[in-house]
């Protein structure tokens, strides 16, 4: 093959590989297998090895390989990469809008709204379509040149996908790390005994600023483009459509971007992003609101440190630092001891937090959390706040290590550490094995009476605490032996409320098998698994007598759950409680599926959004599946029905866009009854 032919094939291979990198790393939609990709890359590497004089800097093979740097040189931004003013609430966002209206003399303002990544701002410089330099924001005027590290990111094109690229293109964007990659990185560092990163932003920043680019290459960083330094480079006067142009060039852009006209639409978008924030695969800390028209942006100009035409609406922070005052141990319904951090109250994610989970003893040791530490805590959505780790630099030397108690803090019985049968090693869980422990009894009764279980209205935690402390009940079966004169003497009860509670207890005696199995609190058996067991075995007796080999044939039940079920129904104390429930005339209804309805929803796919009023989400799912249908977790064109409860989320908008049939809870109930 003559040199000209080699050159042509090399160009073809580079273009093909760049295209498939784009499909994989930018569009998340590959159209060849990993094996086929590897063959293309191998051919390119072999040709370049045979003809090193034909290797070019923008070749896909040149992303990693330079010697570690000793330091990062400065990079001056030709046009300042300024920071943004913030709006901390809707009133401040409205004030920004009113200023824009006044300055532009127009009541109709169109904004380009984009999620605000919690990452690291970067500028990339392309000369005639080739990446020549990239650096951090720095102080907005001078940053650090991290070109070699940026070249390792496959979401950054080394060569623009454009046959007639701009002579000079300066692309601005954000380096982030997906939540899943962050978790995996911290798992790896734990295994190596290395310190952990506090959050994905810190992990991304630390990974990009490695003097050895091969370390950066191993860290799964992603670049999202959000703008250009000069619109004239792309010839488009709309921020929204500049993003589309950047996508055509080969950059990853956020698909959640939206054009909004007026303040009301902006607020709707802000609320939408806030509602889906925790479900996104990456961290965001707000919404960036930009005037879409570039000419209007130029009219407003900039202040000393920030443009006047853009504002960042900031969500309440999901992390904060505070003082760890003490560590208490709670006992759960299965006897598990969980250490809980007692904190100096602090506002996180819009909620005042005074307690946070520490998970288990091993986690405390791994994070080196001590009583008296200043700690970083985080709260994601409705998840219980957790301690991320200590701020070691603020230690005074008076902090104390936490010793796990060797006796149950509730009953004083010895505690034992679980044994992991699969790994044949000691587990991480300490457990109280005294089934008469007051904490276990209280938690077990609360679970038994909960909405998805026996649904005993009026039997709350404070009442249960009184009943256990006054020795009126020692297990869930004792609930059905309560007498009026016992209940009416409890704090907060009068004649009517006592009668109402006893009536509710009596009404709960008729219960479906799946709810009863769930109510028993078998470890690892939630509502869905309880329903699966009920449908498979058909009766309580059959479940109690089921063998390990029978159980693992049930879909979704693995070895650990099967062992848990066998162990639960082999425990004599548990069997005594079940027998006592039967003697108290508990009427357990075995599942029945009328032939006329068994295939009613066959082939139909449902999805739920918002809060259902007449049933739990698990119960609604069970209804669909009992009629032969399937429940999806997300909206797609294949969906038959989206069932909408109160306060629906983003699924509602997605279903409207796709033309999916949207029904309310009442219509859903009609479908399941007709």
pLDDT higher than threshold 70 for residue 381: no
Arch. (CATH architecture) of 318-434: Beta Barrel (2.40)
pLDDT digit string (tens) for 399-422? 999 999 999 999 998 888 876 655
- Residues 539-563 have a mean pLDDT of 87
Contact predicate 341/356, CB 8 Å: yes
Contact predicate 380/318, CB 8 Å: yes
**DSSP letter string, 126-188:** EETTEEEEEEE-TTSSEEEB-HHHHTT-TTS-SB-S-SS--SEEEEEEEEEE-HHHHHHHHHH
pLDDT digit string (tens) for 28-80? 566 666 566 767 877 887 788 788 888 887 787 776 544 555 678 899 999 98
Specify the pLDDT at position 303. 78
Residue 576 structure tokens: 């005594």
- Output 408 or 435, whichever has higher pLDDT: 408
Give 41's contacts (C-beta < 8 A, 6+ positions apart).
17, 60, 61
Residue 615 structure tokens: 């049933």
Parse the chain into domains and list their residue ranges: 3-62, 86-314, 318-434, 438-589, 595-673
Specify the pLDDT at position 574. 86
CA distance 36 to 657: 36
Phi-psi region of 401 (alpha: psi -120 to 50; beta: other; left: phi over 0): beta
Q: Which of 151, 103, 97, 122 is nearest to 226 (CA)?
A: 122
pLDDT digit string (tens) for 75-119? 999 998 888 888 888 999 999 999 999 999 988 999 999 999 988
Specify the pLDDT at position 420. 60
Q: What percent of the chain has pLDDT over 70?
A: 92
CATH topology of domain 595-673: Rossmann fold (3.40.50)
Q: Which of 424, 357, 404 is nearest to 385 (CA)?
A: 357
Question: Kind and range of the H or E element at 125?
Answer: strand 120-127
Give 527's contacts (C-beta < 8 A, 6+ positions apart).
452, 514, 515, 518, 616, 618, 619, 622
Q: How confident is the model at residue 24 (pLDDT cuts 50, 70, 90)?
A: low
Any catalytic annotation for residue 470?
A: no
Give 582's contacts (C-beta < 8 A, 6+ positions apart).
none
Q: How confident is the model at residue 503 (pLDDT cuts 50, 70, 90)?
A: very high
**Is the pTM for the entire model greater than 0.75?**
no
CATH topology of domain 3-62: Helix Hairpins (1.10.287)
pLDDT higher than threshold 50 for residue 382: no
Q: Does domain 86-314 have CATH number 3.30.470.30?
A: yes
- Residues 426-449 have a mean pLDDT of 86
pLDDT digit string (tens) for 150-196? 999 989 999 998 889 999 999 999 999 998 898 889 888 877 877 77
pLDDT higher than threshold 50 for residue 596: no
pLDDT higher than threshold 50 for residue 594: no
CA distance 228 to 256: 19
Q: Which of 204, 217, 167, 200 is nearest to 64 (CA)?
A: 217
pLDDT digit string (tens) for 241-300? 999 999 999 999 998 999 999 999 999 999 999 888 888 889 898 999 999 999 999 999
Contact predicate 589/511, CB 8 Å: yes
CA 481 to chain centre: 44
Catalytic residue of the set 3, 8, 116, 667:
116
Q: Is 561 exposed, middle or buried (0-12, 13-18, 19+ CB in 10 A)?
A: buried
Mean confidence (pLDDT) of the chain = 86
Q: How many CA atoms lie within 13 A of 115 on its CB side?
A: 23
Say which CATH class 438-589 falls into: mainly alpha
Q: What percent of the chain has pLDDT over 90?
A: 42
Give 513's contacts (C-beta < 8 A, 6+ positions apart).
534, 538, 539, 540, 588, 589, 590, 591
Angle between helices 262-276 and 90-104 (to 10 degrees): 150
Q: How confident is the model at residue 446 (pLDDT cuts 50, 70, 90)?
A: very high
pLDDT digit string (tens) for 448-469? 999 889 999 999 989 999 999 9
Contact predicate 527/519, CB 8 Å: no
CA distance 668 to 604: 13
pLDDT higher than threshold 90 for residue 435: no
């Amino acid at each position: 093959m003559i040199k000209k032919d080699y050159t042509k094939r090399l160009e073809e291979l580079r273009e093909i590989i760049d295209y498939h990198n784009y499909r994989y790393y930018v569009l998340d939609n590959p159209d060849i297998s990993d094996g086929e990709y590897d063959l293309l890359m191998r051919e390119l590497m072999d040709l370049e090895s045979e003809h090193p004089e034909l290797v070019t800097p923008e070749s896909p093979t040149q992303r990693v390989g330079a010697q570690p740097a000793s330091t990062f040189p400065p990079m001056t931004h030709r046009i300042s990469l300024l920071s943004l003013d913030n709006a901390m609430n809707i009133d401040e966002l409205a004030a920004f809008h009113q200023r824009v209206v006044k300055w532009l003399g127009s009541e109709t303002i169109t904004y380009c709204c984009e999620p605000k990544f919690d990452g690291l701002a970067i500028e990339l410089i392309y000369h005639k379509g080739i990446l020549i330099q990239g650096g951090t924001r720095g102080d907005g005027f001078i940053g650090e040149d991290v070109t070699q590290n940026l070249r390792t990111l496959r979401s950054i094109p080394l060569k623009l996908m454009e046959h007639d690229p701009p002579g000079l293109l300066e692309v601005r964007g954000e380096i982030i790390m997906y939540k899943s990659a962050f978790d995996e990185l911290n798992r790896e560092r734990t295994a190596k005994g290395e310190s952990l990163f506090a959050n994905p932003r810190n992990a991304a920043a630390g990974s990009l600023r490695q003097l050895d680019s091969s370390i950066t290459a191993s860290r799964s960083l992603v670049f999202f483009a959000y703008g250009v330094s000069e619109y004239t480079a792309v010839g488009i006067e709309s921020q929204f459509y500049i993003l589309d142009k950047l996508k055509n060039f080969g950059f990853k852009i956020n698909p959640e971007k939206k054009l909004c006209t007026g303040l009301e639409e902006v607020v709707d978008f802000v609320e939408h992003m806030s509602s889906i924030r925790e479900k996104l695969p990456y961290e965001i800390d707000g919404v960036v609101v930009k005037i879409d028209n570039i000419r209007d942006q130029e009219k407003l100009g900039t202040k000393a440190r920030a443009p006047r035409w853009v504002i960042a609406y900031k969500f309440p922070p999901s992390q904060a630092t505070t003082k760890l005052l003490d560590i208490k141990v709670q006992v759960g319904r299965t006897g598990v001891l969980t250490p809980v951090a007692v904190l100096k109250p602090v506002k996180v994610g819009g909620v005042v937090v005074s307690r946070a989970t520490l998970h288990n003893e091993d986690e405390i040791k791994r994070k080196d959390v001590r009583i008296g530490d200043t700690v970083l805590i985080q709260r994601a959505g409705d998840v219980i706040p957790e301690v991320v780790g200590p701020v070691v630099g603020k230690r005074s030397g008076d902090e104390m290590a936490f010793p796990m108690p060797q006796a149950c803090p509730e009953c004083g019985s010895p505690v034992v550490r679980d044994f992991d049968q699969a790994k044949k090693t000691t587990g991480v869980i300490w457990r109280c094995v005294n089934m008469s422990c007051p904490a276990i009894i209280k938690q077990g009764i609360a679970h038994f009476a909960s909405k998805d279980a026996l649904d005993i209205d009026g039997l709350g935690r404070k009442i249960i605490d009184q009943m256990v402390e006054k020795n009126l009940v020692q297990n869930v079966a004792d609930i059905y032996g309560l007498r009026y004169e016992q209940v009416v003497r409890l704090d907060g009860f009068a004649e009517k409320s006592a009668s109402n509670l006893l009536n509710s207890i009596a009404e709960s005696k008729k219960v479906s098998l799946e709810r009863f199995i769930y109510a028993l609190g078998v470890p690892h058996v939630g509502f869905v698994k309880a329903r699966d067991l009920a449908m498979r075995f058909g009766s309580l007796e059959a479940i109690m007598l089921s063998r390990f080999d029978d159980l693992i044939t049930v879909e979704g039940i693995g070895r650990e759950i099967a062992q848990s079920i066998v162990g639960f129904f082999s425990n004599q104390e548990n069997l005594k409680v079940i027998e006592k429930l039967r003697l108290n005339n508990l009427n357990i209804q075995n599942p029945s599926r009328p032939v006329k309805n068994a295939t009613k929803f066959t082939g139909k796919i449902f999805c739920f959004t918002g809060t259902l009023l007449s049933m739990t989400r698990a119960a609604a799912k069970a209804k669909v599946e009992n009629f032969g249908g399937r429940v999806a977790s997300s909206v797609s064109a294949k969906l038959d029905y989206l069932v909408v409860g109160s306060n629906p989320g983003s699924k509602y908008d997605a279903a409207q866009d796709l033309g999916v049939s949207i029904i309310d809870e009442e219509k859903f109930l009609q479908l399941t009854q007709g």
